[in-house]
Structure 1
Amino acid sequence: MVHRLDVGTSGPLLVARTVEAWNWAKDRIYKRDQLRDYVALVHGSFKSRNAEGGEGLEERGVVLANIDDAGYTKYSRVEISEAAGESATTFYEALAEYQSESGRDRYTLVHLRLETGRTHQIRVHMEHLQRPLVGDRTYGSKARNTWLQCERPFLHKVRFVFATFPSADPVVVWSPLTMAPDLCDVLRKLRLVNGIDIMNCGAAEELCLRSSHGSHY
């Protein structure tokens, strides 16, 4: 196994068939020569004001916040620490906004791209923006919106671009959200307010290519 996903995260993994290929792939990851795209459903709207009453978040941006995993165990969490943490960069773009049937609760489907690969990076970065992932009981409220019955963090890897060994030819692996039926069930309980209707999008390509512009994507 060349890399890993957080427990509860779905999507493709890269497995090396030889030691040479494993070392080569790990070096590519270290040099950030791979693309990893995810979709996540987070609490809140990117247009609404934050908890302190300040202006809402931009619908497209980058999180630059160092992550400290020195004290991390499978029973604990990582922390944002500019002094003790390692650099971590996550690009994000809001794709669609949802609301509960009552209209009281708002949610946003977000496309994320990792430039680095720190432990729990997406989850702690989204919490840092005060937009924790639905179903994340480590970086969000354990009792929040239990009616959605999301039994894991709503996080799915939709695209993985890597180079084969030894030719270095690029390979693109797509994994549409429909390959995570439990997460699709969560979306069906919500009403789409605006943005991409990912449930009827068809291919993950449309989702990813829509955000593949500029230096961020």
Structure 2
Amino acid sequence: MRIQVVHCHPLVTGYNHALYEAIVETLKANGHDVVATDLYREGFQPAMTERERQTYMEETYDYSAVAGYADTLKSVDGLILCFPHWWFSMPAMLKGWVDRVWGPSIAFDYDPKDRHLEPALRNIRLFGVVTSYGSPWWVVTLFAGNAGKKVLMRGMKPLCAKGARSFYMAHYDMDHSTAESRQAFLEKVRARVARL
């Protein structure tokens, strides 16, 4: 499979980057064609431009400024996002990538006559998420309602890549994690990705 791995974290010395490297290495070792996308290292600009917003719900969305990212998204068989949850949500840079790249005529088709969206990422057969949270599972899920997971798995995936098989892996309570808990989760991620 041709799989894009999108990473979003400002540090290359931290745990999240280690997860990203493990995913990329494991996929390559198992014969996949990997498109490694490190948003911070690539200097991705997350703010939507005035022109993009003006044309967003028209039939001619001007995504020329992110055309390379859009072409990649439309050419891969699978997508794995690797990032931390900050304040129960994805980092601003990743959200900007979604806002700008997952636009009309890329991730979905918009019919202005009856105002409905039709999934357009029919090429995506795999949608995976590897993430972390500073808070424990019960705070994320029971108190905050796990909004970040809902956006990804109930919003983005079915609205744009309907029918794709998926997985969601999260290391909770990073604020109190240990070297052992981080290594155990890293090995779980390696094992899950190795089965793709």
- TM-score, normalization by structure 2: 0.30
- TM-score, normalization by structure 1: 0.28
Greater helix share, 1 or 2? 2
Greater strand share, 1 or 2? 1
